[in-house]
Amino acid sequence: MQAVVTGASSGIGEALARRLAAEGCDLVLVARRRDRLEALATELRALGRSAEVVAADLASDEGWRAVLEVAPAPDVLVNNAGLGVFGPTTGSDPVAQLRMVQVNCEALTALTLAVLPRLVERGSGVVVNMASIAAFQPVPFYAVYGASKAFVLSLSEALDQELLGTGVRVVAVCPGPVPTEFQAVAGSPDARQTHGLALRTSEQVADATWRAIRRHRRVVIPAPLHRWMWFLQRLVPRRWVAAITGRSMRKHID
């Protein structure tokens, strides 16, 4: 079984690659940092698994096309690569925001739509799209990031419904804060400041993702606390949710 994992050089992607290899998958590892990918590939090969490296920038068409050249129809496609830009959206760098949309939305959509017809023809396969709990509500000071993850969630749920009966599934994983390099790059609050009931490690997210691959679950929220929050926020006006989220985020603005 072949699995493609984008954003595999660190964090959740790296943990997912290890988990998939442990479950018997051969890996195609995708990210920009070739040195980290090669180190991970060497580790996985020592476990008896095949591991190919694709050093590519998914913000470009050439990047996601390079992935398809190596793995046009993987058994499992994990669209994990993602960027964040935290802070006041007005006055932020539009180039950085656009690059985030290109990685979080455009590359994910391109890879998903390219492989799905082949998987349907074969009658099997799983696409895992990494969304976020940010997908469930407006997120002031993380506005474009939250919107990009709402896109990922909506797309994934719609595609999974369309594909019923084909043998192909689409899973949206919606983690909350996870201590990785993501926060430092995005300029967002350190995940370790999060309450313990909401905090999950990369390995825990990888475990929850594997369970969803094995037993069909359309949407996965790894932390139980976030599942309750998702349920409760649907009972109050959306503007209240935006206001509460905005106050929480504003505390972290310098």
- What amino acid positions are annotated as catalytic residues? 145
CA distance 29 to 50: 11
CB 77 within 8 A of CB 112: yes
8 A C-beta contact, residue 70 and residue 28 = yes
**What distance in Å separates the CA atoms of residue 209 and residue 128, rounded to the nearest whole number?**
8
Cα distances from 187 to residues 89, 131, 229, in angstroms, run 13, 19, 24
Among residues 134, 89, 140, the alpha carbon closest in space to that of 245 is found at: 140
Quick one: how far is CA 174 from the chain centroid?
A: 8
From residue 147, give the alpha-carbon distance in Å to each of 47, 105, 137, 203.
Answer: 39, 10, 9, 26
Q: How far apart are CA 61 and CA 57, in angstroms?
A: 9
DSSP structure class, residue 181 = T
